[in-house]
Amino acid sequence: MPLKTGKAYIESLKSLNLKTNIMGEQKDRLTGNSLISPSQKAVAFTFDAACSPDTQELFCAESSLFNDVVNRFSHLHLSTEDLINKVKMQRYCGVKTACCFQRCVGLDAANAIFSTTFECDKKHGTQYHERFKDYWKWIQKEDMVVDGAMTDPKGDRGKRPTDQVDPDLYLRIKERKPGGIVISGAKIHQTGMLNSHEILVMPTITMRKGEEAWAVCCAVPTDAKGIKYIYGRQASDTRKLEENAMDIGNPTFGGQEVMTIFDDVFVPSERIFMDGEIDFSGILVERFASYHRQSYGGCKAGVGDALIGATALIAKMNGVENASHIKDKIVEMIHLNETIYACGIACSATGEKTLSGNYLVNLLLANVCKLNVTRFPYELARLATDIAGGLLGTMPFAVDLEDPVTGPYIKKYLAANPDYNTVDRMKVFRLIENLVAGSGAVGYLIESMHGAGPPAAQRIMIGRQALLEDKIDQIKLLLDIQ
């Protein structure tokens, strides 16, 4: 059984010898870095869950590429049940880690590339699908983490790739060499990049005639020559460097965002899965986006569970859990969160088999799911802030608890419900703060808005998929309008 434990996964990262620029310095030894370790632990959780008897059934699946069990985070969906289990798994990870666990993008990229390459080969006589199957079989057998790299910097948003002042503002094929290509550009908002073994590069938009150089999909090792990393800043991130962990909010887990530079990176032919086929670039983007919008029905609902739990607990600690308006607000939080989850399940249950054999989500419902996610987590955060109270923004430093002068005052004056310890109450405040305003808000709020595309992208897809003319025709038929 090719399954790593969380510990084995962390050890596998050490062998990559990855380096990144962070806080003005280049760092290596990333597995011991206090800023990065929480995000690595979040990924490690997904490995341990696959090895645990309690969760193994949800986190594992039979591979379609060879006869063995694989981690579901590298599985090619073979049924609507697989799609549903993916969302259930993501919700479980979300509530257990209360953060982004960073493996969804690679999973969604793989499933989109699998079906797109099959159809591209059928039309153009290319050999991409078999290449990708061989590659992904290796990923599954080695139980690797893969980053899906789609988002380009884009430069001037009013201009196409060919019209940019700098052609590298969309990642492109810069040069051809015997046995492969050289790519140049960057990918931004790369969730969990430095916690990954491999990168799946994809185009970020539908390419047009004359933009063949930008219609590229390929696989690159994270330690490939020419790749450079710049670590992303998050709110309150340097709290992770402090000795007292309470002010972090989430003392164990965290997320990670990285700017990734591809400075003339060579890609061998066997790792190329699209090379100028502009007619399939948009199909790949659409399928990846839809899988990823489905993912948010699981992961954001899971983190929402954590926020709801923390909010209900702080209400008890504040002594207001029986107030009718508090109860009503918590019910509203639950309603919004379950609506997110319901859409994730719905687009999975109504998914369909592709020509390649794997399953694709219902595109319309996946986009409805993500459009809800651009709103509902913000309302959950507002309600949590309302219920928790102003201490979310004014609470003293955790280190002041240890001071013989200030500590007793803090414990005396921040006491509330006598059934709960003051320090425990402060811990819950910090977790809520982390999710609504701290580093956790990157994965829960900003990612909810812009991850897998901003609201306008979902509205465009909903307009395309809603079959509006069919609805009009049904009314004409009902009313006998010619």
Catalytic residues: 100, 104, 191, 257, 292, 296, 299, 447
Specify whether the CB–CB gap between 233 and 35 falls below 8 A. no
Smallest CA-to-CA distance from 395 within 368, 366, 435, 426 is with: 426
d(CA 336, CA 315) in angstroms, rounded, equals 19
Relative to beta strand 352-353, strand 69-71 is unpaired
d(CA 193, CA 31) in angstroms, rounded, equals 13
Helix (H), strand (E), coil (C) string for 97-136: HCCCCCCHHHHHHHHHHHHHHHHHHHHHCCCHHHHHHHHH
Three-state secondary structure call for residue 209? coil
Residues 435, 310, 390: CA angle, nearest 5 degrees: 70
Phi, psi dihedrals of residue 66, rounded to the nearest 5°: -160, 170
C-alpha pair distances (Å), 388 with each of 148, 326, 330, 391:
37, 10, 11, 8
> Which residues are registered as beta bridge partners of 359?
353
Handedness of CA 279, 281, 282, 283 (dihedral sign): positive
Handedness of CA 247, 253, 257, 262 (dihedral sign): positive
d(CA 131, CA 272) in angstroms, rounded, equals 8
Three-state secondary structure call for residue 319? coil
d(CA 200, CA 370) in angstroms, rounded, equals 22
Number of neighbours of residue 7 by Cβ within 10 angstroms: 11
Relative to beta strand 69-71, strand 60-62 is antiparallel
Q: Which residue has the tokens 């390419």?
A: 207
Buried b (16+ CB within 10 A) or exposed e, 415-451: ebeeebebeebbbbbbbbbbbbbbbbbbbbbebbeeb
DSSP-derived letter for residue 482 is: -
